[in-house]
Structure 1
Amino acid sequence: MASATEAPWHAAFPKPKAQAEFISREDTLALFSSAKPGKDFILVDVRRTDFEFDDKEMLNIQGGTIKNSVNFPAHSFYHIREAVYDLVKAAGVKTVISYCGSSNGRGPRVAGWLQDTINEKGDDSIKSVAMTGGIKGWAKAGEEYTSQMVGYEKEAWETKPDGCA
């Protein structure tokens, strides 16, 4: 976390021109049964320091993540946004759903940066959105949500503070 004299990480990058649109976790969950993950939509987990592997088994993400998500940390996303666009375009993905801890900062910022790139390309076939409530909202919403997670650990979500810079 930035101190009073230290600028936040995102101050090094331009603010997104596009205002992030949001998709609810309910609508995101519905996509798992009505659309094809990785083709019709892709989930982008933009956490960095709060997206860590556990110490015992380097295969498990602490607390878990939503199935079929890719991890592109927000802190480096601005530099790779055009490559991400190219990958999404080549795959024919229609919707990119970004999320962080609570989708109050990083998730919407990344969604905005990617939407800026989409707009600059003049592409109306792809939409970039942020998921309301982030992974914390998803993990605390009940079994129908947690069943769509890999590495879900209930205890991890009971101790995580709110907030998402």
Structure 2
Amino acid sequence: MEPEQPWHAAFPAPKTTQPASLTREEVLDKLRAGGIGREFILVDVRRNDYEGGAVRGAINLPAQTLFPTIPALYQLFKSAGIRHVIWYCGSSLGRGTRAAGWFNDHIQEKGDKEMQSVILYGGIKGWATAGQDFVDFMDGYVPEHWT
């Protein structure tokens, strides 16, 4: 019996393996400035572990189904004037990094010098456990999940 392949084995590996990142403090500053949906967007790529809350205003696009939608997402984000696409998962070390890499590869293929694809350093775990300032910028926060 063959071992089960990881979900991402069905797609090409991203060329960008270490995308740029923003700290939670930088993202919080962006949220406080009110630019979400106008100059940046947050994308939560969790699927089965999408629980405990999300960064306020983030959209959920599970990583397992993301790759085929990247061209359409790029066009949508570009049309909306989005300059920063900020990806995260639980820790932003797996799915978030892969998603940001794939999206960055697409941005580079398009020759786009204005849009950036980055990860939220530390992911949702880092965000939800960083104190009240961060919790105040969460939708559906469940404190018990993070203890």
Report TM bin, short chain.
over 0.9
The gaps in structure 1 that reach 5 residues or longer are 52-61, 159-165
Q: What is aligned with 2:42?
A: 43
Matches within 5 A, 1:116-131: 116-131=105-120
State TM-score, norm by structure 1: 0.85
CA RMSD of the aligned region, Å? 1.2
The CA distance in 2 between the partners of 1:90 and 1:27, in whole Å, is: 24
The CA distance in 1 between the partners of 2:34 and 2:104, in whole Å, is: 21
Q: What is aligned with 1:83?
A: 72
Q: What is aligned with 2:145?
A: 156
Letter in 1 for 2:43: V
The CA distance in 1 between the partners of 2:23 and 2:11, in whole Å, is: 27
- Displacement after TM superposition at 1:35 (Å): 4.8
Say whether 1:69 aligns with 2:67. Answer: no
Say whether 1:14 aligns with 2:3. Answer: no
Q: After TM superposition, what 4+ stretches of structure 1 lie above 4 angstroms from structure 2?
A: none
Percent identical among aligned pairs is: 49
Q: State whether residues 16 and 109 of structure 1, in contact with CA within 8 Å, keep that contact through their aligned partners in structure 2.
A: yes
The CA distance in 2 between the partners of 1:33 and 1:130, in whole Å, is: 18
Cα shift readout 1:79-104 (whole Å, capped 9, x = no counterpart): 10111101100000000000000111
State TM-score, norm by structure 2: 0.95
The CA distance in 2 between the partners of 1:34 and 1:139, in whole Å, is: 20
Cα shift readout 1:98-138 (whole Å, capped 9, x = no counterpart): 00001110001000101111111111110000111100110
